[in-house]
Amino acid sequence: MTRRISILGATGSVGTATLDLVRRAEPDAFELIALTANRNVDALAAIAREFKPRIAVIGDERQGGTLSKALEGTGIETASGPTALIEAASRPVDWTMAAIVGSAGLEPTAAALQDGAAVALANKECLVCAGEYFIDLAARRGATILPVDSEHNAIFQSIYPGHDRFIRRITLTASGGPFRDWPRERMGSATRSDALAHPVWSMGDKISIDSATLMNKGLEVIEACRLFGLPPRQVDVVIHRQSVIHGLVEYVDGSVLAQLGSPDMRIPIASALSWPERMETPAERLDLARIGQLDFEPPDEARFPALRIARDALEAGEGATAALNAANEVAVEAFLQGQVGFLDIAGLVSDCLGSLEGSAALPQRFGGLDEALDVDSRARTWTRDALSTVNSKHA
Ligand code: NAD
Ligand code: MG
């Protein structure tokens, strides 16, 4: 039976990996409804020509004309701008890949969940910024959230049906990122390309920098608590350089179930795309004898303070985690643009949280998405303003 699917953030790292699986499937396995991108109009036009969705949407309004010209005569509808993204995301499908990066993905993902179908959630920011809203929305609309983040997908796969009430603890693994062996002093002068050189995974720029600061793992602890309904003390992190074990679930009897696989995002994406069944992938097969050894160590919060900052925000509530995410997005972008140093990223996030929490209590939970977007925008403004101070410190 042909399944109707949409891919939000189709030109990104996760979007491209998803399309790779669709390309390899039987020709009538999937029918593309919507493909979206933010700015890369050429890449969007190319995949639209190949996959023939009903609609292709570019987030950047100024590129709308270029897109429609590029797809002239193909019969593919085109649109542009944030409202068009939301409209395309709300079109009825059987499955949506939510792979827009950042809090820009909140409204389109919410629109997809409204429709009540399955949503493969790569965009962890939804749960970090407004977890309760998204979990509740999925429940009300009868939608299924299928976690795509490799650690969360591993845990999802390792929860024996009906045994979630017997979970004692879950563990997210982390490769440790490119600076896992660097002393903190050296990180101060880390360049953009040092930070983007992830030792194991190939991912978009934003999440690659988050992996270098370990903020990614902090965001993932928040994501896991909200996704699996667990308190923070039941969610652990362990550094595991080979990234072969992705997540572990410990039960009350001492049994531990884990999911293993090569570090290739096509494995968790395929698990979500074929759910509740399975599909073939071209991912490298795991050869434990060849790997020989798996290493584990605790994360070093002195060298990587982002993990502690994220845990503190999680204890404080949703207002703090939404502010954490927004401040981090601005700080990472500033680092990528060469405006601030690597260690300033966590510093800016921590200062932003301190300032926002100091001026007025951030809500513990949000009544709706608007409230989350409001905190997001306040934290962005605060961090952008603070960039000038950091810049002068650097000068
Ligand atoms: P990416 O930067 O490679 O791609 C992002 C996609 O979102 C692109 O298609 C881009 O056009 C679109 N986009 C960016 N800004 C947008 C905006 N303002 N409005 C609309 N669309 C916008 O990112 P990625 O690495 O594929 O990550 C996507 C999401 O998946 C992130 O939330 C990330 O944390 C999560 N994730 C990624 C990986 C990975 O391996 N790359 C693993 C786990 C989780
Ligand atoms: Mg992950």
Residue identifier of the C-alpha nearest atom 40 of ligand 1? 203
Going by C-alpha positions, the residue among 235, 236, 238, 281 that lies closest to residue 262 is 281
Looking at residue 395, what is its pLDDT?
46
Let me know if residue 271 belongs to a domain: no
Looking at residue 392, what is its pLDDT?
60
Let me know if residue 279 belongs to a domain: no
Same domain, yes or no: 137 and 157: no
CA 20 / ligand 2 centre spacing (Å): 20
Let me know if residue 274 belongs to a domain: no
What value does the CA radius of gyration of the chain take, rounded to a whole number of Å? 20
Looking at residue 76, what is its pLDDT?
98
CA angle centred on 103, ends 115 and 225, rounded to 5°: 80
Residue 17 main-chain phi, psi, to 5 deg: -65, -35
CA 159 / ligand 1 centre spacing (Å): 27
Looking at residue 199, what is its pLDDT?
87
Let me know if residue 278 belongs to a domain: no
List residues near ligand 1 (CB under 6 A): 9-15, 37-38, 40, 59, 85, 99-102, 104, 122-125, 149, 201, 203-204, 206-207, 265
Looking at residue 142, which CATH number applies to its domain?
A: 3.40.50.720
User: Which ligand lies nearest to the CA atom of residue 224 in the structure?
Assistant: 2
Let me know if residue 275 belongs to a domain: no
215 in Cβ contact with 130 (< 8 Å) = no
95 in Cβ contact with 118 (< 8 Å) = yes
Same domain, yes or no: 14 and 122: yes
Same domain, yes or no: 214 and 317: no
Looking at residue 394, what is its pLDDT?
54
Ligand 1: which of 6, 7, 13 to mutate, most ligand atoms within 8 Å of CB?
13
Same domain, yes or no: 142 and 161: no
CA 289 / ligand 1 centre spacing (Å): 34
From 103, 130, 147, the end of a domain falls on 147
Let me know if residue 118 belongs to a domain: yes
258 in Cβ contact with 158 (< 8 Å) = yes
User: Which ligand lies nearest to the CA atom of residue 263 in the structure?
Assistant: 1
Tokens, residue 381:
């403004």
Same domain, yes or no: 140 and 187: no
Q: Give 122-180 as a DSSP string.
A: --THHHHHHHHHHHHHHHHHT-EEEE-SHHHHHHHHHS-TT-GGGEEEEEEEE---TTT
Range of the domain at 323: 306-394
**Long-range contact list for 378-381, CB < 8 A, 24+ apart?**
378/323, 379/322, 379/323, 379/324, 379/325, 379/326, 379/327, 379/330, 379/352, 380/326, 380/327, 380/329, 380/330
Ion ligand 2: residues, CB < 5 A: 149-151
Tokens, residue 359:
């001026």
Tokens, residue 209:
């920098």
Atom nearest to 265 CA in ligand 1: 40
Residues 6+ apart with CB under 8 A from 26: none
Same domain, yes or no: 91 and 187: no
Let me know if residue 335 belongs to a domain: yes
Distance of CA 305 to the CA centre of its chain: 20
Residues 6+ apart with CB under 8 A from 58: 36, 37, 38, 39, 41, 44, 64, 67, 78, 79, 80
If one counts the domains in the chain, the total is: 3
Same domain, yes or no: 89 and 34: yes
- Strand bridging mode 256-260 / 245-251: antiparallel
Ligand 1: which of 6, 35, 38, 101 to mutate, most ligand atoms within 8 Å of CB?
101
Same domain, yes or no: 143 and 184: no
Residues of the chain with pLDDT under 50: 395
CA 100 / ligand 1 centre spacing (Å): 4
Distance of CA 187 to the CA centre of its chain: 24
From 90, 120, 147, the end of a domain falls on 147
* Rounded (10°) CA dihedral 262, 268, 269, 273: 130
88 in Cβ contact with 65 (< 8 Å) = no
Residue 50 main-chain phi, psi, to 5 deg: -75, -45
Atom nearest to 124 CA in ligand 1: 32
Atom nearest to 203 CA in ligand 1: 41
User: Which ligand lies nearest to the CA atom of residue 151 in the structure?
Assistant: 2
Looking at residue 360, what is its pLDDT?
81
Looking at residue 279, what is its pLDDT?
97
Looking at residue 359, what is its pLDDT?
80
pTM: 0.97
Looking at residue 390, what is its pLDDT?
82
Going by C-alpha positions, the residue among 151, 251, 156 that lies closest to residue 201 is 151
Looking at residue 370, which CATH number applies to its domain?
A: 1.10.1740.10
